[in-house]
Structure 1
Amino acid sequence: MVLILRTVGFLVAVACFNVQCVLGKGKISCKDDKGKDVDWFVLYKLPKTRPTSGDYMSLNGEQMVYRDSRSRLNTWTLLKGSIYNTSNNPVKETLDPIYRKEKDVAYAAYNDQLPEGFKGTRGGHTKGILMAGIGEKIGTVWLQHSVPRFIEDIDNGYEYPKSGRENGQLFFCISTNVKFADIIAIHLFVQAANVYQTNAPDWAKKFPEFWKLLHKEYPSRTPKDLRVDFLLTNKRKLVMAIAKPPNWPKDI
């Protein structure tokens, strides 16, 4: 899960323990439903509800409400697309370089509830994708979410799991500089993130912690202390990231 707070121009992201590149071009960034770069977004996949009468809207478990760095304060947009479709979908647009199998894009997908065909566990209750590029694609995306079994096998293209229809699900995406890839990787080590799909181009060796994450080279012992760092988005918004070890004995 992700908790978002906005106050005095700051974004505070608490990561509990628990991109599209048009035609292969463009930097790694969070994207809106039209594939345009955004500094950050929050997307809530609405839960499925029982049929209703009158003026109330029945939800089939596919609808998305959305806000990003350009949204007016306290406003949300009901998107036209479905979380299951590849069009008008900020999640798919953001992760497009992964599904296009762009070899120079580094990424690590992690989830404590793996999709079919994958095995392993690390003990951390955390889900998301860390993706980065250099050169014309320079940038880092950290997409945190709450969806079990997502992302599924990239060889099959974009798929949202059928099991994700019933419940509401949350996505939080930030666009940041590639230099923060190491710090985010350290946070994922602290959280004992279970990495199960990766791509590790040679350029990623310049970022040793990120490189270890891409190769599932976990610390011999999971860190036991809370980790707090400040990240900076591309539009220079501060993001406070808090990583909690699985067995940390206190409440944040």
Structure 2
Amino acid sequence: MWRIFLMVSLLCWSTDGQVTCRDNNNGEVDWYIIYKAPQLNNIGTTGLEYLYIDSAGKKKETLTTDPTYKPINHPNGVLANTLRPIFTTSLPDNFGFISYSDQPPGCDAIDKFGHSKGVVMMEKDKTGVWLLHSTPRFPFLRDQKKFYPSSGAAKAQTFICVTFKYDQFNKIGEHLLDINAFTFDDHIPEGFYKELKDLRRTGNNIRDPRVNQVKIQDLKSAGLPSTGLPSAGRTSFESIAKKQYKAGEEAEDDECDDGN
């Protein structure tokens, strides 16, 4: 009986388009923005409190006096809920993800890689998320209880998560190639966009140099309706890319270890 239930659950995850930004209660949202407070002894913050706003107009200030308080590193909080598709070692072929950072777990990338951090996850031909952030060593592990680094409490950090339809991820992959994002963890099967496949770690240091210019791309969110509310339509975003090294300059080999 339990075996049948598990199989049905896995099939539902892989076919129902569950890769979306998620709120503190695991509800789907089109986008959200988080400001995480720094650890400050003079006002008593632990560095795990945050301010939150999303596409439904929901605003939340997490306080330890709130009985529903979930800190930023909570295993069932907003970030863990959003990242849950990668908290497994068995990933289906219709799912892909890339974790990139100039400060990945274990070391720092060389300065020829972009000063940028984020996670992209998507189901092929359905929906996915682009989670941009400023936190070094994040996600620390693909583990629901250990995804947030202990070093992430000290300073203020920001997160922006947007849900996109799959047809936007070739543009997102192009952006990450343009900024020479350093990929430290990934699962991109062969059937996905070439721009995403080119970001896999196996090709990280042998990419062709990109043209050194500012590049702006228009993106539109998936337009997900929030729980109990109608869709407000697709929100427009712009990705702005500029990389540091000059055209024709070859990327050097990088010896940054895999943090996982």
Q: Please indicate the TM-score interval, normalised by the length of the shorter structure.
A: 0.7 to 0.9
* 2:150 aligned with 1:162: yes
The equivalent residue for 2:29 is 38
* 2:244 aligned with 1:246: yes
Cα distance change on mapping 1:202 and 1:192 into 2, 3 Å = closer
The equivalent residue for 1:7 is none
**1:246 counterpart letter in structure 2:** Q
Give SS of 1:151's match. Answer: coil
Stretches of structure 2 that go unaligned for 5 or more consecutive residues are 1-8, 63-68, 224-233, 247-260
**Paired residues for 1:148-159 under 5 Å:** 148-154=136-142, 158-159=146-147
Greater RCO, CA 8 A, separation 6+:
1
Instruction: Give the aligned length.
Output: 212
* 2:62 aligned with 1:62: no
Write the distance in 2 (CA, Å) between the matches of 1:230 and 1:85.
33
Q: CA deviation at 1:157?
A: 5.4
Bigger Rg over Cα: 2
Cα distance change on mapping 1:215 and 1:113 into 2, 3 Å = closer
* 2:202 aligned with 1:181: no
The equivalent residue for 2:222 is 234
**Paired residues for 1:1-252 under 5 Å:** 24=10, 25=13, 26=16, 27-52=18-43, 58-71=44-57, 76-79=59-62, 80-87=69-76, 89-104=77-92, 105-116=95-106, 120-121=109-110, 122-134=112-124, 138-154=126-142, 158-204=146-192, 207-218=193-204, 219-235=207-223, 236-247=234-245
**2:75 counterpart letter in structure 1:** T
Give SS of 2:177's match. Answer: helix
Write the distance in 2 (CA, Å) between the matches of 1:71 and 1:102.
35
Kept after mapping to 1: 8 A contact 2:73/2:80: no
Query: When the two structures are superposed, what TM-score results if normalisation uses the length of structure 2?
Result: 0.75
Kept after mapping to 2: 8 A contact 1:107/1:214: no
**Identity across matched positions, percent:** 25
Write the distance in 1 (CA, Å) between the matches of 2:90 and 2:82.
13
Write the distance in 1 (CA, Å) between the matches of 2:143 and 2:52.
28
